[in-house]
C-alpha cells in the first residue's frame, strides 16, 4: 500500500479561493489574539529545559503526538537566536529518540512546522504508526484529523511517557 488520502474517491479538485491580503493577524502578533503559549493557555509542559518546553495536544487521535516550543517568543527558525537554532537539532533528536523508546509500534517520527495559527515557534512531532503505510508522508496529519479523537488524558499520558524517556 502506498500513501492514501483518508477519504473515499473520487475527490473533486477545486479552485483556491480569493487571496486574503493582508492576511489576518495570528495569535501573538500585533492586532491578533494573545499568544496562548506565553499566556499559559496551552497545555502544561510535560518536559522542559532552559530553552524548550514539550507539550501534549488536546483533541487529537494519535497518542504520542507532542509539540515542542521555544521558551522565547520568536516566530520561525530564522528568528531563533543562533544558540537556540543550533540547539534545535539536539533537542529534536532527543524528542525523536524518546518517542521511539517510550511508544509502541512507531515506524517513524514526522516533524511539522506550520506557523499559520500562532506566531510562537513550535514544531509538531507525530508518530507514524508501524505498518500504517497509507499514512506515509503528508498523509499522516490528514489521517490524524479524520480518525476519532482519543481522550485528552490518553494524549497527556503518552506525552508523559515520552517526557520520562527524555
Residues that bind Zn ion (CB under 5 A): 28, 35, 37-38, 73, 120
Cell numbers 515520552 label which residue? 162
Q: What is the CA radius of gyration of the chain?
A: 17
Q: Which is nearer to Zn ion, 91 or 98 (CB)?
A: 91
Q: Which is nearer to Zn ion, 73 or 97 (CB)?
A: 73
Q: Which is nearer to Zn ion, 37 or 126 (CB)?
A: 37
Cell numbers 516566530 label which residue? 75
The least CB distance from residue 30 to Zn ion, in Å, is: 13
Q: Which is nearer to Zn ion, 13 or 40 (CB)?
A: 40
Q: Which is nearer to Zn ion, 26 or 73 (CB)?
A: 73
The least CB distance from residue 115 to Zn ion, in Å, is: 12
- Helix 82-102 to helix 152-164 angle (10° resolution) is 110
Q: What is the 3-state secondary structure (H, E, C) of 21-81?
A: CCCCCCECCCCCCCCCCCCCCCCCCCEECCCEEEECCCCCCCCCCEEEEECCCCCCHHHCC
Cell numbers 499520558 label which residue? 157
The least CB distance from residue 34 to Zn ion, in Å, is: 8
**160 touches 66 (CB < 8 A):** no
The least CB distance from residue 49 to Zn ion, in Å, is: 18
The least CB distance from residue 43 to Zn ion, in Å, is: 14
For 33, other C-beta atoms within 10 Å of its C-beta total 13
Amino acid at each position: 500500500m502506498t500513501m492514501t488520502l483518508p477519504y473515499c474517491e473520487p475527490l473533486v479538485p477545486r479552485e483556491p479561493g480569493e487571496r486574503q491580503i493582508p492576511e489576518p493577524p495570528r495569535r501573538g502578533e500585533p492586532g491578533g489574539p494573545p499568544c496562548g503559549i506565553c499566556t499559559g493557555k496551552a497545555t502544561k509542559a510535560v518536559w522542559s529545559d532552559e530553552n524548550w518546553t514539550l507539550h501534549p495536544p488536546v483533541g487529537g487521535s494519535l497518542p504520542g503526538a507532542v509539540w515542542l516550543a521555544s521558551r522565547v517568543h520568536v516566530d520561525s527558525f530564522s528568528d531563533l537566536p543562533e544558540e537556540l537554532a543550533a540547539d534545535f537539532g539536539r533537542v529534536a533528536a532527543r524528542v525523536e529518540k524518546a518517542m521511539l523508546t517510550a511508544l509502541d509500534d512507531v515506524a517513524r517520527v514526522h516533524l511539522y512546522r506550520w506557523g499559520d495559527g500562532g506566531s510562537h515557534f513550535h514544531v509538531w512531532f507525530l508518530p507514524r504508526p508501524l505498518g500504517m503505510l497509507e499514512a506515509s508522508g503528508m498523509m499522516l496529519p490528514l489521517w490524524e484529523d479524520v480518525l476519532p479523537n482519543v481522550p485528552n488524558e490518553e494524549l497527556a499520558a503518552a506525552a508523559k511517557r515520552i517526557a520520562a524517556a527524555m
